[in-house]
Amino acid sequence: MMTFQPQFPQGFLWGGATSANQVEGAYNLGGKGLSTADVVEFVEPEDRTSMKIPFPSLDEIQRVLDTENDRVFPKRFGIDFYHNYKEDIALMKELGFKTFRISIGWARIFPTGVESEPNEEGLAFYDNVFDEMQKHGIEPLVTLSHYEIPLHLSREYGGFYSRDVVDYFVHYARTVFQRYKDKVKYWITFNEINSLLMAPYIGTGLVQDFVPEGRLLEAKYQAAHHQLVANAKAIEACHRIIPDASIGCMVIGMINYPNSPHPEDASAAHNDMQKTFFFTDVFTRGSYPFYMKRFFAEHDIHIKMELGDERLLRENTVDFIPFSYYMSGVSARPEQGGEKAGGNLISGLKNPYLEASDWGWQIDPVGLRTLLNMFYERYEKPLFIVENGLGAFDKVEEDGSVHDPYRIDYLASHIEQMKEAVGDGVDLWGYTTWGPIDLVSFSTSEMSKRYGFIYVDQDDYGSGSLKRSKKDSFSWYQKVIATNGEDLSSS
Ligand code: BG6
């Protein structure tokens, strides 16, 4: 066999990814309203239940707000990117970033979500951030809703469960497309849209009180329909307002292996993957896939659609498919027991062939190559890995250095497989590692779970100098980018 040397294309978009509620802080400055993320508190590790993402009732939200002074809300302080964005973007520049993924805090632009006029101070903040990126030659990649919506929309409407929220979202999307049309050419509507099946509050703002008795699954798919319609409408607006922009909708990229060669296990793995493919099928092919008919019938799910929805979905599909990839899962036929694995919302059984992170996420670089091929075979649309990385405990040495070979190993092995997929012929636009600078964890709201090349001196409770310093992985990623992924060695 001839040796084949895959290579990343010229212009490959290397970079990193963050979200507003995990980095910005300043939750009540600049006219910002409260978002759904601002009421998610830090929970001590020993008090965490297996489900760390709450699905609250209105009463619970009220109780949290009434006693907020006794609670810790790390997503309210983030890492104070709001005041440090210049220094942070300069560090991204030093890393050699071609692109930097951020999200816009919707409640910074429309504090309650229902205003007709946007908050100028919020708009000006992102103008400054984009200008800073432009100054350093970094292309912004911007998510419109990354695990947050204005809290008011959640409390008054049950989030995207209500059709009204589609219009509020589209008004917000149009406003920012209009404002940033000369500065932002890569857009993502929703972060990990398929997460709503596991975490409906985080993904869509749905709270318990709005769900009719026993109809939670139906409510989730109704909210999904509304987000898919909102996505289509936002795509339509984006293409009209910024004709040279590319826009996508994101999913948690997950590959499920069968627990054994038993055909029923293989079928379970296939069914689990269809739960993700449902979303990518709709926003890439433009219609509900055939297999949902039976699923909806068997689960007594009736989706309310408006006249024109089908046309909207059909005419406004994505330009590229952005997805996150952290781990793979194992599926088994229902009667099969087995030890559960931890996971990025979607999990399954433990895989005896894989190592896991300190949080139990099963590390599987080869799965990334397979998944890239699966997505590309299915859609033949450009792909973009917009999150990948290792959450780990870091130790600061006495001289201030952080030695993180585990992070380098994780990323190098994934980039290696990504390169193989590019060699396989997959059209991959770019790669943004999750949390290039340490940030507040989404699932556990802790600082201790770190992803960055840049260390941030802050603990779980918000104490620390916030000083930024470079870990060993910083110069490693710098070299990876400088060599366009050719040199992945750790020396
Ligand atoms: C993704 C989210 O699911 O995973 C990010 O889009 C999140 O917001 C990331 O931070 C890693 O998860 P965690 O829970 O380790 O922060």
Contact at 8 Å (CB) between 123 and 179? yes
CA of 443 to the centre of ligand 1 (A): 6
In angstroms, the CA 250 to CA 189 distance is: 7
Active site residue 148: no
CA of 172 to the centre of ligand 1 (A): 24
Q: Nearest C-alpha to atom 3 of ligand 1 is from which residue?
A: 344
What DSSP state is assigned to residue 190?
A: E
> Exposed, middle or buried, 366 (CB in 10 Å: 0-12/13-18/19+)?
middle
In angstroms, the CA 119 to CA 265 distance is: 52
In angstroms, the CA 356 to CA 375 distance is: 24
Closest atom of ligand 1 relative to the 195 alpha carbon: 3
Query: Helix (H, G, I), strand (E, B), or coil: what is residue 311?
Result: helix
CA of 13 to the centre of ligand 1 (A): 21
Report the predicted TM-score, pTM, of the whole model to 2 decimal places: 0.97
Dihedral sign of CA atoms 21, 23, 28, 33 in order: negative
Q: Nearest C-alpha to atom 15 of ligand 1 is from which residue?
A: 441
Of the listed 139, 387, 420, 446, which one is catalytic? 387
Pocket test for ligand 1, best of 344, 357, 449 (most atoms within 8 A of CB): 344
Closest atom of ligand 1 relative to the 435 alpha carbon: 10
Instruction: Identify the pLDDT of residue 1.
Output: 76
In angstroms, the CA 464 to CA 456 distance is: 9
In CATH, the architecture of 13-482 is Alpha-Beta Barrel (3.20)
Pocket test for ligand 1, best of 51, 359, 434 (most atoms within 8 A of CB): 434
Domain boundaries of the chain, sorted by first residue:
13-482
Contacting residues for 223 by C-beta, under 8 A, at least 6 apart: 159, 160, 161, 196, 200, 203, 204, 206
Q: Give the pocket of ligand 1 (CB within 6 Å).
A: 19, 22, 147, 191-192, 324, 344, 387, 391, 434, 441-444, 449
In angstroms, the CA 430 to CA 101 distance is: 11
62 phi/psi in degrees, rounded to 5: -60, -45
CA of 192 to the centre of ligand 1 (A): 10
Contacting residues for 409 by C-beta, under 8 A, at least 6 apart: 490
pLDDT digit of tens for each residue in the chain (491 aa)?
788 999 999 999 999 999 999 999 999 999 999 999 999 998 888 776 544 567 999 999 999 999 999 999 999 999 999 999 999 999 999 999 999 999 999 999 999 999 999 999 999 999 999 999 999 999 999 999 999 999 999 999 999 999 999 999 999 999 999 999 999 999 999 999 999 999 999 989 999 999 999 999 999 999 999 999 999 999 999 999 999 999 999 999 999 999 999 999 999 999 999 999 999 999 999 999 999 999 999 999 999 999 999 999 999 999 999 999 999 999 998 877 677 777 666 667 899 999 999 999 999 999 999 999 999 999 999 999 999 999 999 999 999 999 999 999 999 999 999 999 999 999 999 999 999 999 999 988 999 999 999 999 999 999 999 999 999 999 999 999 999 999 999 97
Dihedral sign of CA atoms 431, 433, 437, 442 in order: positive
CA of 307 to the centre of ligand 1 (A): 36
Cα distances (angstroms) measured from residue 127 to each of 80, 123, 149, 267, 360: 17, 6, 20, 49, 39
In angstroms, the CA 438 to CA 31 distance is: 26
Closest atom of ligand 1 relative to the 451 alpha carbon: 15
Pocket test for ligand 1, best of 24, 443, 447, 451 (most atoms within 8 A of CB): 443
Write out the DSSP string of 56-123: --HHHHHHHHHTGGGS--HHHHTT-HHHHHHHHHHHHHHHT-SEEEEE--HHHHSSSS--SS--HHHH
